[in-house]
Amino acid sequence: MENLKKILITAIGAPKNYQQVTWDEKPDPIKTPFPFLAVASKWNVDHILLLGTKEALDQNREHYQQLLDELERFGLKNSLSAKEIGALNTRDEFWNAFTEVVSNRLFKREEIDLFIDLTFGYRVQPILIFLAAYFLRETRPNIHLKKVTYGIKEADPPHILDMTELIYLLDWLKAAQLFIHGGSAKELVLRIKTITNDQLPKFVESFEDFTNAYAFNYVSYLKKKSERFLTAKNKDVKKFLNENYPVYSQVEPFIHDFLKIFKNKDQLSLQLNIARRNFEEGAYARSVLILRECFITLFCKVLNQTKNKFRQKVELVLLNRVYFALFDEQKSIKLSVEENRLAQETFRILNEAIPEKELQRFYRLWGEIRDIRNAVGHIKNFNKGEEIDFVELKNYLDTILQESKTILLSFVSHLDTRPQVKHTLQNLLSEKEEKRLFVIVNEGIHPILPALRQKYGNNIKYKILTAGNVDLDMEKTVAQQCKKIAEEYHDYQIFLVPGGYSYLSITAYGVFQQSMGRHPIWLQYDPGQNRYVEKNLSPRRLLNGGGE
């Protein structure tokens, strides 16, 4: 009993007797009135759980004596465990019987291969068996549902039909629902791999690529990845799947419809649609993350820019600076006088194309989305008694999604018609060339200037503090020169080229840091590569990763 590996669940009715049948099984036909005994014999089942009403399991009846004789003949008499259940005429009878099956002690084993035969049984008992077996398989990792069978004695020749694909249909349905309604593709990828990995590797790979992009929220990849999968799913692939795996053909239209939402959409509309879809499927955090990106995409789309560096500047300059200067009532981030001035100027420029009321709502929506986004994944110290009403938060997000879509698409049309505004916004975000001054402590024998020009271009500005042989008491002179340079080039980044006596380089470094309030960049010469390597020697940065 302790070593059970294979269990079969089935049921019988209560006829006068069962007709003898020769089942067309391979390698040899099996003669018995009970198809489940043919299954048990073929698969070397260790135990049979037999369900039936009181009448069906009455040992004094002819059909039951017939069963006992057959069990004896097959050597399975000691393998039988009969369990009486009701006729399932009421809801309570059904659930009582279901509980009896799934809590049976037979299923408390380490590993079980489960077989079910649905040929016999009173009324809906076969349905109960199928549902109970599927429930066991889904909730008990030690149970593996191997076969679903049904004996057709009226066929010519009589045979036992393998209906195991019913399990696969439910698996595929569950996988498709998880994917379409919840965004989780793990089960669906597993199903597709199971049936096609060897024959159709590109088909599997393209679908897995798409689902990974969706799971990671890489919206910019979804259009390309969905098109690749739809291309891989050509006529030959569909024909192969439909002929060999009809279960796939049943769920494929739903997958296809889902993938179509990523076709023929500009990036902003695609993001908005996916944000809404995630919200509708209860993936609220994903919805917020994507919606936040929609506000950045708006400006990137209008200004025809896609680089990550540009997106960061949009968030910093056109969104955050204006929001924190003009609309953040908590003043959670302080801006300088200059940043406040630039924020007002940015708002004025935008107001040339967009009505001020819409503009204000745009920035308030951005702030609300930022607040929700900043709470995602964070641990907060709550005040005593403080609670979040997540139903209210969900409804709030629903409203934000609706308003954001209206406002963002309206903004695109406003800004697209105002080229002067677009040009001015471009200038606001344009990169300013960094002002650099190279200070050479000692112009020695190695080719300093050619190496600098090779790295930084021919038009570099530079100053030379000392040249050739120097005296040991020149630190005061060097310090005075550095102070004068710092005053004249106060808005430049100093790049210090050490040379000669090391104490003079240290003196120069200290004076620049003290006079300018920031550390110069130390340029270390690499003779092997004939180049200079930049070193930021700020102690705070080196010790704990902080800024200047």
Residue 312's pLDDT is what?
A: 85
How far is it, in rounded angstroms, from Cα 496 to Cα 139? 68
The hierarchical CATH code for the domain 6-163 is: 3.40.50.10640
Mean predicted confidence (pLDDT) in 284-295: 91
pLDDT at 432 over 70: no
Interatomic CA distance for residues 341 and 347, integer angstroms: 10
Q: Summarize the confidence of residues 21-49 as an average pLDDT.
A: 92
* pLDDT of 414 over the 60 cut: yes
The CA-based angle 73-77-82, given to 5 degrees, is: 135
pLDDT at 237: 79
The percentage of the chain sitting over the pLDDT mark of 70, rounded to a whole number, equals 94
Is the pLDDT assigned to residue 546 strictly greater than 50? no
pLDDT higher than threshold 60 for residue 2: no
Per-residue pLDDT tens for 154-164? Answer: 888 999 999 98
pLDDT band at 383 (very low <50, low <70, confident <90, very high): low
Domain spans of the chain? 6-163, 167-264, 269-377+390-429, 436-544
Order of all β-strands in the sheet with 531-536: 462-467, 436-443, 493-497, 521-526, 531-536
pLDDT at 119: 94
Residue 244 backbone phi and psi in degrees, to 5: -100, -25
What does the alpha-carbon distance between residue 448 and residue 531 come to, in Å, rounded to a whole number? 9
Q: What is the dihedral of CA 493, 499, 503, 508, to 10 degrees?
A: -20
Per-residue confidence (pLDDT) for residue 548, from 0 to 100: 41
Burial class (CB in 10 A: 0-12, 13-18, 19+), 148: buried
Q: Which residue has the higher pLDDT, 499 or 57?
A: 57
262 has a pLDDT exceeding 70: yes
The string of pLDDT tens digits covering residues 299-308 is 988 888 877 7
Bigger pLDDT: 435 vs 148: 148
More confident residue, 239 or 21: 21
pLDDT above 80: residue 261: no
Q: Which residue has the higher pLDDT, 438 or 166?
A: 438
454 membership: H or E segment, kind and range? helix 448-456
The per-residue pLDDT of the chain, averaged, comes to 85
Query: Both tokens of residue 289?
Result: 């993350």
Helices and strands, number each (H, E), in the chain: 22, 13
- Residue 447 predicted with pLDDT over 80: no
Mean pLDDT score, 72-92: 92
Q: Which of 30-44, 193-207, 395-409 has the lowest mean pLDDT?
A: 193-207
pLDDT band at 16 (very low <50, low <70, confident <90, very high): confident
Q: Is the pLDDT of residue 530 over 80?
A: no
Q: For the residues 96-120, what does the mean pLDDT come to? A: 91
Is the pLDDT confidence value at 114 over 80? yes
Average pLDDT over residues 148-170: 90
Q: Where are the alpha helices (DSSP H) in 233-378?
A: 235-244, 246-260, 267-280, 284-302, 308-313, 321-322, 337-351, 356-375
**pLDDT average, residue stretch 506-531:** 87
Same fold, 6-163 and 436-544: yes
Q: 539: buried, middle or exposed (CB in 10 Å: 19+, 13-18, 0-12)?
A: exposed
Least confident of 17-21, 140-144, 278-282, 476-480: 278-282
**Higher local confidence (pLDDT), 220 or 525:** 525
Query: Tens digits of per-residue pLDDT, 205-223?
Result: 888 888 788 777 787 788 8
Higher pLDDT, 140 or 196: 140
536 CB-near residues (< 8 Å, 6+ apart):
519, 521, 522
At residue 401, the pLDDT reads 92
**C-alpha angle 64-67-69 in degrees, rounded to nearest 5:** 115
Specify the fold of 436-544.
Rossmann fold (3.40.50)
**Predicted pLDDT of residue 169:** 83
Question: For residue 197, what pLDDT is reported?
Answer: 61
Q: What percent of the chain has pLDDT over 90?
A: 39
Give the pLDDT confidence score for residue 547 in this predicted structure.
41
